[in-house]
Amino acid sequence: MKKLTTAGLILIMAGVISLILFFDTMAPVSIGMIVTGALMEAAVAMKTKKDRPVPCRLGFHRYDHTGYDEENRSMRIYQCRRCHKIKKAVLGGG
Ligand SMILES: [Zn+2]
């Protein structure tokens, strides 16, 4: 499974690089490579994180601001509405 992830990333990278370097001639091929790589990544994500909702498996969490860290008040705590994953972030001036 890990090999497929790597292959997907390589495809995406190769697609992006060839798109930049040879845009005029390679654009359709490059975009095809990027899309294929992205689909491989998505397929792996779908298979590996079965306990999470689909958007969360793809990394699209929906965070709500739930409070502040007890030790560091400038640290905000966010929690994903769907999978309850917790993220902490510092906001300047907050
Ligand atoms: Zn989530």
Assess whether 42 and 66 both reside in one domain: no
Structural domain tally of the chain? Answer: 2
Assess whether 6 and 44 both reside in one domain: yes
94 pLDDT band, cuts 50/70/90, is very low
- List, in order, residues 6 or more apart from 59 with CB less than 8 Å away: 45
Does residue 13 fall inside a structural domain? yes
What is the domain extent for residue 68? 62-94
Assess whether 40 and 69 both reside in one domain: no
- 76 Cα–ligand 1 center, Å: 17
Does residue 54 fall inside a structural domain? no
- 57 Cα–ligand 1 center, Å: 7
The predicted model scores a pTM of 0.54
- How deeply is 29 buried, as exposed, middle or buried, from its count of CB atoms within 10 A (0-12, 13-18, 19+)? middle
Assess whether 67 and 41 both reside in one domain: no
- 5 Cα–ligand 1 center, Å: 20
> Could you read off the pLDDT of 53-92 as tens digits, one per residue?
888 888 899 999 999 999 888 899 999 999 999 999 987 5
Assess whether 43 and 67 both reside in one domain: no
User: What tokens does 64 get?
Assistant: 């709500």
- 4 Cα–ligand 1 center, Å: 23
